Chain A
Amino acid sequence: MNFAGFLLAQSLNALSQGAILFFIACGLTLIFGIMRIVNFAHGGLFMLGAYVGYSVAAWTGSFWLSLIVAPLVVGALGAAFERSFLARLYARQDAGAYLMVTFGLAIILAEAIRLAWGAHPLGVPIPDRLRGIVLVVNQPFPIYRLFLIAMGAGAALLIWQFLERTRAGLLVRAVAQNADMVHALGTDVRTVRTAVFAFGCAMAALGGVLSAPLVTAFLGMGTNVIIDAFVIVIIGGMGSFLGSIIGSLLVAFVQVFGAYYFEDLALALMYLLMLAVLVVRPGGMLGKEE
């Protein structure tokens, strides 16, 4: 295998991994931007998405349907959680309270999933149309991973255009900047918050559904991925959407190439990258220092 081909294949690998990470990180960063909440349950919601997706695919035989149903279910759950728990804490102005309530939700989710689906990993087959490999410049590459890259890029583009071009997107950005002022100007900030939280949860679920065919749906997929997502959001800057894209790609490339070149340092590399960024820019690459 020549070097250029190897580089290309690894880069595509990293891009597809970055796409999965992006689905979790973008919700996390949007939620933080709007509500200053670090959602510890995000990994659990990602996992719930994978399991709901598994069940929908198993019942209906359609992977595509699970791509739609799972995010809707998890998004609705997220909205309910925000309304019944988080919304009651806004007045308290205590960052620790959110951290801990969402941590409690993470524990409950992990346990509820174990009870509902059992402890065994559940394999989700890759849909027929995305099975197999294609040759990318003479390198064999799984079609499914190319599909992931396309999904990630498409979602990033859509959300970015939504935030920049639509009135609703303008509202989201405005609430992130100054919620009290937006509220005073007659917008229902509560609804914006619930919607963004639900959307973030739905995106995490979508990421879960998409990653299940690669790694199966298993208990612990949430705890693994949430830390990656935190690192991404911190590197990119908490609350910055563009930062979450850059962070996802950076972390994915560090993970893929790190695993190849520095095998025994691979786990530590990501944290070292994060510490390096934070020491230089305490607010993250595109974040504001608070």
Chain B
Amino acid sequence: MQRVVLAAVVVLLCALAPVVPPFTLTLITEALIFGLFAMSLDLMVGYTRLYSFGHAAAYGLGAYATALMLLHFDLPLPLGILAGVALAVVVAVPIAWICTKSTGVSFAMLTLAFAQLGYAMLFRFKDVTGGSDGIGGIPRPAGPFGLAVFQGKLGYFYLVTFCLVGSYLLCRVLVRSPFGAVLAGIRENDAKMRALGYNTRAYKMAVVVVAYGFGALAGALYTPFAGFVAPELFFWLVSGRVLIMVVVGGAGTLIGPIIGGAFFLMLEHELSEATDLWPLIFGAIFIAFVMLAPEGIWGLLTRHARTQPPRPDDDADREAPRAAS
């Protein structure tokens, strides 16, 4: 049932895209990019209970790497984005190695430190990154394979939608795989998983790198969309906001954070036009969700409808995957 509704929403979006006003299309595109960003964090927060307070690092890395690729190497757009993601994944490995040395609050603070370090480094290497000005005038090169279709607004919307749906399906496979079952085990009881012979540190590293990869994809998609990048992409308020989106959307559901990200971007847009009080409302809504509805929007939506619980750990009866260590 859920699957049918979700597929219908995607088809509807794609069908309506050519006829909605260009401004709305821009807004929807940005909302989808943020949804993808929030979903990537959900792998860590919802499925492994690794609270990252520095996920802006993934976003910023992807955005800056793609900006540099497009600006200096004249790659076709999809390749530029892929290159950005690849670079972010490479950088994520040592970050994951250090951060997974600790858990809980220390983990959150370490990820925060790396994001802030990235922020500081942008100012250190002004020649490459443009310092506080960022990098502007980023092209959307067409490249040789007739990929010019992505240069337009509509084409870019389809590219973003394609990336989001593809990433969602990949992540879904991932969290339902034996690997995902181990992550759920770590979320519920790390010590027990270690006692069962799992090298939980390796699993945690893997999920951090994967989450960085998808987060970087969101950042990489943002760059040609906005046409510029700025140090604020790395700032800790971005990390805080995306964490909010995950929780409000519904952690541990993948689809919830996508809705949360998109929902908040739309809400922010509407409210900031109607009233200048919106950060106040934003903060209040957020506290209300944490206090009253920790299961998030998606949890509320599916509370009555669901026939089977949504979390992957409910597959606990299934035979446990073999130890990989």
| B113 close to A282 (CB less than 8 A) | no
A290's partner among B106, B244, B280 (CB-CB below 8 A) is: B106
Complex Cα distance A273/B120, Å? 13
On chain A, the residues within 8 Å of B45 by CB distance are 96
Is A271 close to B, CB under 8 A? Answer: yes
| B121 close to A268 (CB less than 8 A) | yes
B106's partner among A92, A107, A268, A283 (CB-CB below 8 A) is: A283
How many interface residues does chain B have, given as a range?
35 or more
A238's partner among B106, B112, B121 (CB-CB below 8 A) is: B106
Q: Is the interface of B mostly helix, strand, loop or mixed?
A: helix
How many interface residues does chain A have, given as a range?
35 or more
| B113 close to A274 (CB less than 8 A) | yes
On chain B, the residues within 8 Å of A96 by CB distance are 45, 49, 51, 247
Complex Cα distance A25/B113, Å? 16
| B106 close to A278 (CB less than 8 A) | yes
| B243 close to A95 (CB less than 8 A) | no
Q: Which residues between 259 and 290 of chain A lie within 8 Å of chain B, taking CB atoms?
A: 264-265, 267-268, 271-272, 274-275, 278-279, 282-283, 289-290
| B120 close to A111 (CB less than 8 A) | no
| B287 close to A282 (CB less than 8 A) | no
Q: Which residue of A lies closest to B239 (CB)?
A: A103
Complex Cα distance A290/B106, Å? 9
B101's partner among A94, A101, A282 (CB-CB below 8 A) is: A282
Contact with B along A19-50 (1 / 0, CB 8 A): 00000000000001000101010000000000
On chain A, the residues within 8 Å of B237 by CB distance are 223
Is B279 close to A, CB under 8 A? Answer: yes
Complex Cα distance A279/B114, Å? 13
On chain A, the residues within 8 Å of B121 by CB distance are 268
| B283 close to A279 (CB less than 8 A) | no
Is A6 close to B, CB under 8 A? Answer: no
Contacts A36-B105, A96-B51, A223-B237 given; indicate if A272 touches B286 (C-beta within 8 A): no
Q: Which residues between 110 and 144 of chain A lie within 8 Å of chain B, taking CB atoms?
A: 110-112, 115
Return the 3 tightest CB-CB contacts between A and B, nearest first: A107-B283, A267-B120, A108-B283
Of the A-B pairs whose beta carbons lie under 8 Å apart in the complex, a sample of 16, sorted by A's number, is: A36-B105, A38-B109, A95-B108, A107-B279, A107-B283, A108-B280, A223-B237, A227-B236, A230-B109, A234-B106, A238-B106, A271-B113, A274-B113, A275-B117, A283-B102, A290-B105
Give the B-binding residues of A (Cβ under 8 A).
32, 36, 38, 40, 85, 88-89, 92, 94-97, 99-101, 103-108, 110-112, 115, 223, 227, 230-231, 234, 238, 264-265, 267-268, 271-272, 274-275, 278-279, 282-283, 289-290
